[in-house]
Structure 1
Amino acid sequence: MMYGYGDWGVWGWILMGLMMLLFWGGLAAVVVLLLRGARSGWGGGGYYPPGPGHDDPERILGQRFARGEIDETEYRARLDALKRRP
């Protein structure tokens, strides 16, 4: 007889297997959460810089003017209208 181990039987093996699954599952969950947090910008003080879909109106207007979609008079008129709004 091996001292210190006792006779766990089938329930001991089931318990050890469940604990192993819980450990590795928890470790994988922590790694995934850390990777997702690093990608989404945790630690930035709550400020998230605007992404590609969240440009400010003046920048979009400047891009349209640079691409030639609008002429200079329309650009200046729209820029003045943007600056007048509250």
Structure 2
Amino acid sequence: MMGMYGAGGSGLAWFGMGILWLALIGVIVWLAIRLATHRNAQPSATLQAETLAPKPPNESALEILDRRLATGEIDVETYKASRDAIRETRGEPK
């Protein structure tokens, strides 16, 4: 009996320590991934400048469409199709 002092404990103790270490490593990996993706998810300075730029208040649909064409967000074909659709819903002639 005296030679068995501190000889490892029961199987349940070994299993519990294994689970504890796996949980600790899992939490550390989860935290590292969460912090890494949180930093990458922040918008760049140019994107922030675009979102912070003041938009004209009460801009009509045609004004928005004109602005999008002017900034190059849409091409001429899309512009014409959208403009015609807006005018059609308003009951204006094409």
Q: Using structure 1 for the length normalisation, give the TM-score.
A: 0.48
Query: Between Structure 1 and Structure 2, whose CA radius of gyration is higher?
Result: 2
Higher relative contact order structure (alpha carbons within 8 Å, sequence separation ≥ 6): 1
